[in-house]
Amino acid sequence: MRRPAFPEDLIAAQSAWDRTYRTLADPAQRGRTTALRRHLLELSVQVWWHPYWREAGTGHRMALRMRAQELESRAG
């Protein structure tokens, strides 16, 4: 099966979403939860409503998450 090619800004938004979600789950960030939740919501909107999905359909959303995680693990 061919791997979908995602736009860089979509991958970046998904990666930022993953990082923000992990930060929000960290108990040490207790005083920042409101800001982190707002940021997570903004990123959710960017990812969910990205123009890429109009043409590709929504069937590749899990592939996007896996691609973003793959790139994060390579970078870190």
Q: Which two tokens stand for residue 5?
A: 């090619």
Indicate the pTM of the whole model.
0.86
Contact 52, 6 (CB under 8 A): yes
Q: Which two tokens stand for residue 26?
A: 């960290």
Dihedral angle over CA of 50, 9, 21, 73, nearest 10: 140
- How confident is the model at residue 72, as a pLDDT? 86
Residuewise pLDDT in 10s, the chain (76 residues): 466 789 999 999 999 999 999 999 998 888 889 999 999 999 999 999 999 998 887 778 999 999 999 988 887 6
